[in-house]
């Protein structure tokens, strides 16, 4: 099992995760997309398709960051069960990654050129959070998922009823992210104070603005 691997073996496993995360088409979703049976949205005009594709690109990059965070945290987590929960959450987030990537392609868009840098930064932040202690690491997960949920709600409002496929994907992601946040707090995570969440919001907004364009 993963929890019995040596530190160096885990590093190799994480390198493999990074390659899968950053290589288009390298991962297959374990669960079918919630958009599979819905209309494709071909009636959307070009400007609308481009805007929604860019919103989905932001969410794809968010899933790239999630992979980096969870992998970094699992590297330095002290309790085996916490490490295992991080790795399990990482596997579930792969579904989100694939769903977003597929929808971006359908809309004629592309993923962000900045993903390798965001993955690396997230991995380092995750490892630092894990090293600070499991309660802080879990608290960081909850606070991060709260930020992701805010973006998902905003994007759902922007898409509205125009694109049923994208909306279905984002709604399922929102349900999953809110569950991840709750699970992290229930497992002993520290609820971060408001000023920390505000700082995270500023950083998050900077990421979304750059990813929308690049």
In angstroms, the CA 107 to CA 120 distance is 27
In this structure, is residue 35 part of a structural domain? no
Is residue 72 assigned to a domain? yes
Q: What is the pLDDT of residue 4?
A: 62
pLDDT score recorded for residue 109: 95
- Has residue 126 been placed in a domain? yes
pLDDT of 44 reads 84
Here the tokens at position 138 are 């879990």
Query: Concatenated DSSP letters for 94-133?
Result: HHHHHHHHHHHHHTT----TTHHHHHHHHHHHHHHHHHH-
Three-class SS state of 2: helix
Provide the 8-state DSSP code for 3.
G
Q: What is the pLDDT of residue 91?
A: 77
- State residue 1's pLDDT score: 41
Distance in angstroms (rounded) separating the CA atoms of residues 67 and 211? 17
On whether residue 31 sits in a domain, the answer given is no
Asked if 181 contacts 145 with a C-beta cutoff of 8 angstroms, the reply is: yes
Neighbours of 78 (CB within 10 A): 11
- pLDDT for position 184: 87
- Structural domain includes residue 16: yes
Domain with 166 in it: 2-22+42-213
Sequence-distant (≥ 6) Cβ neighbours of residue 21 within 8 angstroms:
27, 64, 67, 68, 94, 97, 115, 119
Instruction: Using a cut of 0.85, tell me whether the model's pTM lies above it.
Output: yes
Residues annotated within the binding site are 63, 93, 96, 145, 177, 180
Q: Give the total number of structural domains in the chain.
A: 1
Q: How far is CA 115 from CA 12, 72, 136, in A?
A: 20, 16, 25
Q: Which residues are annotated as a binding site for Fe cation?
A: 63, 93, 96, 145, 177, 180
From residue 201, alpha-carbon distances to 91, 145, 146, 150 in Å are: 25, 11, 10, 9
Is 67 domain-assigned?
yes
Express each pLDDT in 56-67 by its tens digit.
Answer: 999 999 999 989
For position 65, which CATH number holds? 1.20.1260.10
Nearest to 28 by CA among 127, 103, 95: 95
- Residue among 61, 64, 68 nearest 206 (CA): 61
Q: Which residues of the chain have pLDDT under 50?
A: 1-3
């Amino acid at each position: 099992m993963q929890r019995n691997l040596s530190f160096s073996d885990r590093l190799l496993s994480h390198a493999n995760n990074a390659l899968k995360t950053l290589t288009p088409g390298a991962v297959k979703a374990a669960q079918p997309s919630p958009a599979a049976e819905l209309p494709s949205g071909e009636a959307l005009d070009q400007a609308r398709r481009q805007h929604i594709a860019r919103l989905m690109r932001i969410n794809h990059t968010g899933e790239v960051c999630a992979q980096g965070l969870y992998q970094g945290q699992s590297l330095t987590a002290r309790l085996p069960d916490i490490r295992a929960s991080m790795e399990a959450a990482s596997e579930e987030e792969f579904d989100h990654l694939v769903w977003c990537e597929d929808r971006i392609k359908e809309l004629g868009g592309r993923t962000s050129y900045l993903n390798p840098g965001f993955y690396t930064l997230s991995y380092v932040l995750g490892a630092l959070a894990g090293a600070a202690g499991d309660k802080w690491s879990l608290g960081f997960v909850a606070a991060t998922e709260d930020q992701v949920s805010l973006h998902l709600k905003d994007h759902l409002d922007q898409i509205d009823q125009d694109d049923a496929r994208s909306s279905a994907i984002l709604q399922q992601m929102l349900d999953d992210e809110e569950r991840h946040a709750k699970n992290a707090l229930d497992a002993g995570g520290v609820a971060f104070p408001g000023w920390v969440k505000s700082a995270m919001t500023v950083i998050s907004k900077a990421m979304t603005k750059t990813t929308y364009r690049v």
